[in-house]
Structure 1
Amino acid sequence: MITKYDLIKRFTSYVTIDTESDPTSDTTPSTAKQWVLANALVKELIEIGMSEVTIDTNGYVMATLPGNVDALVPTIGFISHYDTSPDFTGANVKPQVVEDYDGGDIVLNKDENIILSPKDFDDLLMYKGQTLITTDGTTLLGADDKAGIAEIISAMEYLLKHPEIKHGQIRVGFTPDEEIGRGAHKFDVKKFDADWAYTMDGSQVGELEYENFNAAGAVVTIQGKIVHPGYAKGKMVNSMYIAMDYINSLPRLETPEHTEGREGFFHLHNMKGEVDCTRLQYIIRDHNKVHFEARKEMMQKLADELNVQYGSDRVSVEIKDQYFNMREKIEPVMHIVDIAEQAMKKAGIKPLIKPIRGGTDGSQLSYMGLPCPNIFAGGHNFHGRFEYVPVESMQKAIEVIVNIAQLVAEK
């Protein structure tokens, strides 16, 4: 399999390119800087010997590894996204390589006293003795999901160099703007032309996921009435007080910080208020479709009740569905999950099958006709300064990709 040195070199070349996406932009990709890595990936795919390498006007990169078996076997795909989250800066990433991690604190930035510690992140202890790639404490790393890209390209390169390993046709795809929920929006499933695919976008070794949240976004707008406070009695309506009533009427323990597993939540992630108008931005999440619909109904019902209380249509709610639980689309083709599970066991990995508390490109692609479970890419602590990835986890991901290719050809 690919050496540590070559894998580190490939991965760090990706993360040092700023590809932060922008939810306020209406272009695809949402930021011009994403084109830098997208075009570099096209060049690299050609250089390693991939066929049918393309990039479209929206920055979607695709390529083909032709099959080397005579039998008719399914065409499979592997997909990752090259943008990074706008939650934390991805500019001027300076990756640090920690050889033979000793299980103690890692000083990311001595000047700013930023420390990655197993006291705060006990999963670090799983990787004692391994090689970790971290940030310098001032940026995110970008293992989400440049680790996935490095793994896919490395696996394709390995298969190209080892034609004795039998496999069918394999398609690869790299997408922009996944971090802002648009990664699959303009993905050409017909052009990709695979029977099914896997996103390499999970976290720790062994993760295998085929169910995710149903997701919606909601904007609650509260209209008040501003008058001079000295003459406000019986006239002023302070929208911020009504907003507080709305916030406090939702179940307080059904929020991200109080839920886990398949438990859903309401998440107030932004609010802006003045006396005259307040806007609340929520995301709504639930694995269960019935509960998901009930959450949306609850938000509207609460608005209706406050409108009765305050005597007019002061509270309005706009709810837009974002993506749905891909389990509904994967269960009829569960053999694709079974193959991934078998590939992990073949690599000496214990599969960790669990629901995603989020979404991936695969959730949308599954509803677009491309069933697409999610496989680990190896990183931890995504979207922040404490992000890291063990190189050995990335090597295992490469091994899983190769194993899947072999297993599909053997079926």
Structure 2
Amino acid sequence: MKKVLIISLSFLVCFTIFASIVISTPSTTLYLLNWGEYIDHELVAQFEEEYHCQVIEECVTSSEAMYQKITAGSTSYDVAIPGDYTVHQLYDEGYLVNLAIDDTRYENLNNYKDIFSTQLSDLMATYMVNEEGKEFNSYFMPYFWGAYSMIYTTDKEDVGSTLKSNGFKGLYDRSLFSSDVKIGMYDTARWIVASYLMANDYDPNITSYDGSKEDDLSTEIKNDAIEALQRVKFNEFGNDSLKRDVANGTLDFCFTQLGDFFDALYLVYDESEDDINFDVIVPETTSAFFDSMIIPKTYQNYDLANAFINFMLDPNHAYQNATAIGYSPTLKSVVSLYEEAAENGEYYYGEEGQDRSLTLKDFLAQYPMYLNPLVNSKTVYMFEPKSNQYLTTCETVLNSLA
């Protein structure tokens, strides 16, 4: 199976293109706000050719940064791909427009109610609702999804077994391990607070230990999280670097998203002859996530934006995108395409007869959470939208280590 590698320089390329591109007329240009390493650029080129347009992509490193970009209004983004709780916040604050779900030119948008995986649809029905309890899923189309997880080394015998027994508790309690361990944490403030709460068997959305969800994080939780961070002394804070540092042995495990593991796995297969000495665990208690394609109200090209989203929802395009990026597909049809390809003997990496190869069938058997990120999870949350005051307090927790 061919996997298109999106190299780490793509983040720089996004900004370079955005800064230096010759200004085009709005009718032929689509402005895309995205993450780094998060789209197959062969598909982007195909869209440009089919629709005789130019896609200008700007990249950020967090949903919070994406929120700031969209709400600032200084750039007329046509399509953005923020995380679920940011989508919710943008909807609540009136920054999203309804997608063209009834326009017959966009077949995939027309069928949006029936195309996504059952578990993902159930999560959307629970968490992506407005104040009246009604779904607003015509404002966003899930792009990739997954669960918060931990990538860990298999070179230390007890790391994997300890994490499987204790879940996220292992992030904050070094005494659980028989030897010293090097731990990495994502440098996103909200994720840090959420990981601390889940490690202590709490809903990651609470603001007080009594279970309430007020506008701001309680002083008690804030102080406890700060104390936990200072006690555990994470060896590294980062983002894309974490998965690579577990793979190369710099870290023993890290908190991350499931797709980061599959990206790191393919990179090791492709770039070295080393054995695969790392694995992933999605704890029984975790939080799911999905990023979605949306049209901000500041758009300048509504028709082209809908055409792009419809294009990316095409099963064959979504399948190609998933094989390129490594995150779990949201479409039921893409899951079926993976299963069909596996039965037809396709390879996840390499080819028959090569020393370094892995069939897609063996890959899916070894990592069933790729197509079903929650296959081993029993208690599943999703991050709910929070006030700016809450997010500022989360930043205070992170900055306490400065």
TM (norm. structure 1) is 0.23
Q: Which entry has the higher C-alpha Rg, 1 or 2?
A: 1
Relative to total residues, which structure has the larger strand share, 1 or 2?
Answer: 1
